[in-house]
A and B are shown apart, each in its own frame.
Chain A
Amino acid sequence: MSRLLRVELRRLWARQVTRWACVGALALVALTGAATFLSAPPPSDQQVAAAEEMFEADQEQWEKDGEQQVADCEAGAEAEGLTPEEWGCDQMAPRLDWYLPPTQTFVPDAAQDEMLFGESEVGAQDDATRAAVQEIQGSVWNGWSGLATLDDLAVLLLLLVLVVGVSFVTAEINSGSLGMWLTFEPRRQRVYWSKAMAAAVGTVPIVLVGFALLVGASYAVYASFGTLGDLTGAVWLEVAAFTGRLLAAGAVLAALGVALGTLLKHAAAAVGLVGVVAWACLAFAYSFGELQRWLPTTALSAWLQGGLVFQTERCTPSADGVFECVPVDHVVTTVQGGSTVAGIAAVVTLLAVLVFRRRDAS
């Protein structure tokens, strides 16, 4: 088996598709670096000067009638039965950052995110769910930041290795060389597993190097802008943990590609099927309600990001017959997401092994 695996690994790395996947990963890195450079620069001197000018004008006004504004606010709060803090009366004094254009940072800036997007609507939840939601939403992979962008781009690396896995077997089936191979090693189960393992192991460098370069390119751009944000050791640990989960997902998806290629025999059919399923899951996720936790796209995101929160609505009829709907948060944990992805891959792989063992080879 190890001999077959070594041979299959050599074949994998000698293939043009694998080399093109490496080129694709490098192109992704280059595009990411360029796009980040163009889209995330800090405010220019002119923008800062204009913001300061507006801030000073409002500050001057605030000094004139600020006390009256606060008094009006407190009256309004009292009329609503709220405290002045709940009504925001302590946040009325102008701040310079309100006037500066938002600046994307490498690490999410929670304060800036809140200012830009406001607080997300809190769904009905118990204490445990609330804690999980807060933890997930506070992750470095959420928010408006360089890291949160990388999380989405990493999925493209996974797509690349899936295609490599699919092509690894379909090329062999369609060229007929599988038949020749089986005249040298007729134990089909061994043959299958050597291919699946070669795809899983052999594509690890593509994902690892690709993602490392993505992080490096993004880091370099933000560092050159001086907008890395609060980059602590904990953030790097989370990046390392994400990389580990990404590598595991890459191995599973490459093996899944081998399974789909074996079952469908044509690369276009296998990749097309993945594309259609992914599109349907993303486009109609909300229609699945609470069941969307079992969708492969949801599960994969949960695994990669270290958990995922999605909302559904719970609607109940009120006394006057009108339905009142409230959002409900649902948490998909890392383990749940990973288990779902692994389960789907395992079922497809077992099916592929059964078919591969019995199918007539040309």
Chain B
Amino acid sequence: MAVLDGARGGGELAIETRGLRKTYRSVRGRSVGVEGLDLRVPVGGVHGFLGPNGSGKTTTIRMLLGLVRPDRGTATIFGHEVPKRLPEVVGRVGAIVESPKFFPAFSARRNLRLLADAIGAPAGRVDAVIDEVGLTGRARDKYKGYSLGMKQRLAIAATLLKDPDLLIFDEPTNGLDPAGIREIRQTMRGLADQGKTVLVSSHILAEVEQIADTVSIVARGRLVAAGRVADLIGAGSATGSVRLRVAPTDLTIATSVLETSGLLVRREHDALVVDGAADPAAVNRALGERGVWARELTPLQADLESVFLGLTAGEVPGGGERGPATNGTTTGVGA
């Protein structure tokens, strides 16, 4: 397990779990949802919670919120053991678990009004949070008539009713269009910039990479890596790989030249990927000496997705077959 300094630090923790375990019983037997998970989410910033489908992200969040009882292990939120002492800290936690869930026949305002009254929030708070998420014009409409994006925004408004210190968003951008995704991303980043802690589980890794300060990656209910995003990517970047493009007629000779120079070469569509090239200039030099000229020579850098796929190889369909991807790749991994 790769645990980098960012997650090991001794600072105050918003969330900490130790040996958290949850199994589910069904007619087909017992399945493990979370297996001995040790999770540490520092106070402040955005913490990405990543893992393949069925890796236990939502189950972990449910256990933190007291919706599901762990079989074993402990969990704390701001130092309060949950679920035992959850009532003491629940006022500091806002959460959306999976898709937003409100009373379909009630308006947005009525749904929030009920929640606000349940926690004794001031009367004006409902309108304030509705305004904050841009739903003022539709606040009297029934929830069941809302688009997915509006439902997500309403859910965020609900989490803000308490003015929480910790926000937990479970797949908050599911089903949203690009504009909606950007809006949610900006909201999460904005909340973190206000000093709040945001825990976000998402299957869109590029999105998490853009906003997360730290991440935890889980597979089969266990933590496989944790740390600052930059550190994780940095650790995965030492590949020494370059992508090379030459004239199509030179592909064969270029391959031969580079292999003779002791480099590993593989074909990727109309390009060559050269592994083990610590210095791209060496590739260029070897080719030039044989009169082959590169049209493009790009050092390949790992991104969060490649790190994720590397760490969870075998957990994701096809996950072990992917090579390093260039920055900006947005291919998602099903969550």
Chain A: residues with CB nearer than 8 A to chain B? 3-4, 6-7, 10-11, 14-16, 171-172, 175-177, 179-187, 358, 360-362
A184 touches B90 (CB 8 A): yes
* B123 at the binding interface (Cβ < 8 Å): no
Pick from B69, B83, B102, B119: contact of A177, CB under 8 Å: B102
**Complex alpha-carbon distance, A225 and B326, angstroms:** 92
A-B contact pairs, 21 of them (CB 8 A): A3-B117, A3-B118, A4-B118, A7-B114, A7-B118, A11-B103, A16-B105, A175-B101, A175-B102, A176-B101, A179-B67, A180-B102, A180-B115, A180-B158, A183-B67, A183-B90, A183-B97, A184-B162, A186-B65, A186-B90, A361-B62
Residue of A172, A176, A181, A183 most packed against chain B (CB within 10 A): A183
**A186 and B117 form a contact (CB under 8 A):** no
Residues of B close to A361: CB separation below 8 A: 62, 67-68
Is the beta-carbon distance between B110 and A14 smaller than 8 angstroms? Answer: yes
Contact with A along B103-128 (1 / 0, CB 8 A): 11110001000110111100000000
Q: Is the CB of A175 within 8 A of B104?
A: yes
Among all A-B residue pairs, the 4 with the closest Cβ atoms: A176-B101, A361-B67, A186-B66, A360-B68
Q: How many A-B residue pairs have CB under 8 A?
A: 73
Contacts of B94 in A (CB 8 A): 183
A175: which B residues are within 8 A, CB to CB? 101-104
**How many whole Å from A261's CB to the nearest CB in chain B?**
15
Q: By the criterion CB–CB under 8 Å, are A177 and B118 in contact?
A: no
Say whether, besides A175-B101, A177-B102, A186 and B114 are in contact (CB < 8 Å).
Answer: no
- Using CB atoms, name the residue of chain A closest to B101: A176
* A186 engages B102 (CB within 8 Å): no
Other-chain residue from A3, A7, A172, A182 in contact with B65 (beta carbon distance below 8 A)? A182
Given contacts A3-B120, A6-B117, A360-B67, contact A186 B106 (CB under 8 A): no
Please give, as numbers and ranges, the residues of chain B lying within 8 Å of A362 by CB-CB distance: 67
**Binary contact readout B76-112 vs A (1 if CB under 8 angstroms, 0 otherwise):** 0000000100110010011101011111111000100
Smallest CB–CB gap between B105 and chain A, Å? 6
Residues of B within 8 A of A177 (CB): 101-103
Contacting residues, chain B, for A360 (C-beta < 8 A): 62, 67-69
Residues of A within 8 A of B99 (CB): 176
- Give the distance in Å from the alpha carbon of A7 to the alpha carbon of B111 in the complex: 11
B contact residues around A171 at 8 Å (CB): 103
Q: With A16-B105, A176-B101, A361-B68 in contact, is A186–B83 under 8 Å at CB? A: yes
Expressed in whole angstroms, the minimum distance between the Cβ of A12 and any Cβ of chain B is 11
Question: In the complex, what distance in Å separates the CA atom of A14 from the CA atom of B102?
Answer: 14
CB distance from A359 to the nearest CB of B (A): 9
Taking the closest CB of chain B, its distance from the CB of A126, in whole angstroms, is 56
Query: A181 contacts which of B62, B68, B100, B118 (Cβ < 8 Å)?
Result: B118
When distances are taken between beta carbons in the complex, the residues of chain B under 8 Å from A16 are 105
Instruction: Output the least CB separation between B153 and chain A (Å).
Output: 15
Per-residue A-contact encoding for B154-194, CB less than 8 Å = 1, 0 else: 01001000100000000000000000000000000000000
